[in-house]
Amino acid sequence: MRVFAFSVLAYLFGLGALVLFVLFIAPWPVLPWGVDSGGAGLPFWLAAGVDIGLLALFGLQHSVMARPRFRRLVPPALTRAVYVLASGMALGLLIACWQPLLGESWRVEQPFARGLLLAGFVCGWVLSVYATFIIDHFELFGLRQAWRHLRGETAPAPVFREVSLYRWVRHPMQLGVLIGLWATPQMSPGHLLLALGMTAYVLIGLWFEERDLLVELGPAYAEYRQRVPRLIPLPPLR
């Protein structure tokens, strides 16, 4: 029961941090502070150094804890829950300590283009969340593993499935995140730094993730990777 309770708390904490992050970077004011407000008023380069350090810490936590070598250190029923909890803490730290870098990298005033970007922000995050339910939202966030442990059931062997959006791109979740990061009608240097850092993390993280998936799923995933694009739903070049 303690494993299940821990997993539920980790899920709620991680989900709360993710929602807070989306509101933190939203192109309209929602929270009392955001990616372009708050902070300690540090000089530009010192503030940028703090932000780069926060992005590096976030990326390291995600990449290191997602690797099989680390997962072997945690009981299988808690592996995803511990990862989700740590991810929420890393994301919460980034939100709490982020230093705004003011100015304008770009601003879109044309109403139609501005509306498209605002719609893109919403659709990107909706796409990312929807993609989690296609594969198994509750297993991805560690609840299903804890439920099996509570019921004394054995986890089935991983099986490769190609369904819905995953027929078009291999990583629709990450595609949605990238759209949500970049679709904004006003881009400050701080927001740009955040978008660049998160994009670099996504690309590096996907390289490691696919390497692990090839080992775990074998030839089926290798054939899938050759046939379906990674992030942009375009036909492969021949």
Whether 20 maps to a domain, the answer reads yes
Q: What is the pLDDT of residues 61-82, one digit of tens each?
A: 988 887 777 777 888 888 889 9
3-state SS assignment for residue 50: helix
Q: Tell me the mean pLDDT in the region 22-30.
A: 91
Whether 154 maps to a domain, the answer reads yes
Whether 93 maps to a domain, the answer reads yes
Whether 193 maps to a domain, the answer reads yes
* Inter-residue contact 51 to 98 (CB < 8 Å): yes
- Give the whole-angstrom CA distance, residue 161 versus residue 232: 20
- Give the whole-angstrom CA distance, residue 108 versus residue 110: 6
User: Which region among 137-146, 157-166, 174-183, 188-197 has the lowest average model confidence (pLDDT)?
Assistant: 157-166
Strands 106-107 and 186-187: antiparallel
Whether 238 maps to a domain, the answer reads no
Report how many domains make up the chain: 1
Question: Given this model, what pLDDT does residue 235 score?
Answer: 64
Domain that holds residue 46: 2-227
Q: Across-strand partners of 46?
A: none
Whether 29 maps to a domain, the answer reads yes
Q: Is the pTM of this model over 0.75?
A: yes
Eight-state DSSP code of residue 95: H
Whether 50 maps to a domain, the answer reads yes
Q: What is the pLDDT of residues 85-130, one digit of tens each?
A: 999 999 999 999 999 998 888 899 999 999 999 999 999 999 999 9
Tokens of 232: 């942009």
Whether 167 maps to a domain, the answer reads yes
Question: Given this model, what pLDDT does residue 121 score?
Answer: 96
